[in-house]
Amino acid sequence: MSGPDDDTDEQIGEDLLSAYRAAIEDPPYGATDRTLLRAAACRDTFHWPRATVYAALALLVAALGLVTLPAISPRIDRGGNIGRQGMANTAFPTARTTSNFISAPLEAALRTMKAGNYQPGNRKLQRAQTGRRQKTYDEYLTNAALGTRYARENQLEQAAVALQFAAESQYAALAMQVEATDPDLYAARLDLVRVQPIPSSVR
């Protein structure tokens, strides 16, 4: 075999490489080979491209959103009665109809504000909020929607409970505060809670 110094870069050990190639044998085919060939064949079958799957999922989510959004958008007015007349439901029970449910601090705050004493009412509202468990915006929407649904189905007791929870939410308290201080900010409340606008005839 030739010496190392005689080899160029590409000829390095060419004699040994040839000897090696002459010395080796091909391993026989076995189960592993069959498995791999089968796996390669299966990959040729159609499968949904990833983009199509993602697009379909996005459409499904959007469709679900379109279906559920109207259902969870509560119809709210200032009326104290819970009825089946569409917009006659309220997410903000007044003291007259909900005094049995709303806790004392919140009721006192509402009463104060409705009497026109906005600053004291606001302070009472803040005390009421800090004293209560803060609920999430989603919880508010859910309870408001449930209250709306129960009211439509004339399940008044359930509606009152759901609306109580909604009223206890910091978001409802904020909305009530805005409504109590300035009726012209009603639209702002709608933005806050994302509800559908109530016809002026119902208010």
Partner 1 sequence: MQRYCAGDQEAFKLLYSRYRAPLLRFVTKLVGNSDEADEIFQEVWTAVIRGRRSYRPTAKFSTYLFSIAHRRLQDRQRRYGRWAAIFRNSAPPLAPEEFVDDKATLPESRIHDVQLSKALLAAIDALPPLQREVFLLKAEAGMSLEEIAVATGSKLEATKSRLRYAVARLRARLRGWT
- Tell whether residue 187 is a contact of partner 1 (CB under 8 A): no
- Tell whether residue 6 is a contact of partner 1 (CB under 8 A): no
Would you call 70 helix, strand, or coil by DSSP? Answer: helix
List the interface residues with partner 1, window 26-65 (CB under 8 A): 26-27, 32-33, 35-37, 39-41, 43-44
Tokens matching residue 77:
């007015």
CB of 125 within 8 A of CB of 109?
yes
Would you call 11 helix, strand, or coil by DSSP? Answer: coil
Residue linked to tokens 């993602």:
54
Region of 24-32, 53-61, 147-155, 169-177 interacting with partner 1 (CB under 8 A) = 24-32
Q: How far apart are the C-alpha atoms of 29 and 9, rounded to whole Å?
A: 35
Min dist CB 57 to partner 1, Å, is 20
Region of 2-10, 133-141, 156-164, 190-198 interacting with partner 1 (CB under 8 A) = 2-10
Region of 13-21, 61-69, 138-146, 174-182 interacting with partner 1 (CB under 8 A) = 13-21
Give just the sign of the alpha carbon dihedral 80, 83, 87, 89. positive
Q: What is the DSSP string of 154-173?
A: T-HHHHHHHHHHHHHSHHHH
Min dist CB 4 to partner 1, Å, is 5
| CB within 8 Å of 143: residues ≥ 6 apart | 162, 163, 165, 166, 169
Region of 3-11, 119-127, 167-175, 178-186 interacting with partner 1 (CB under 8 A) = 3-11
Footprint of partner 1 on this chain (CB under 8 A)?
A: 1, 3-4, 7, 9-10, 12-13, 16-17, 19-24, 26-27, 32-33, 35-37, 39-41, 43-44
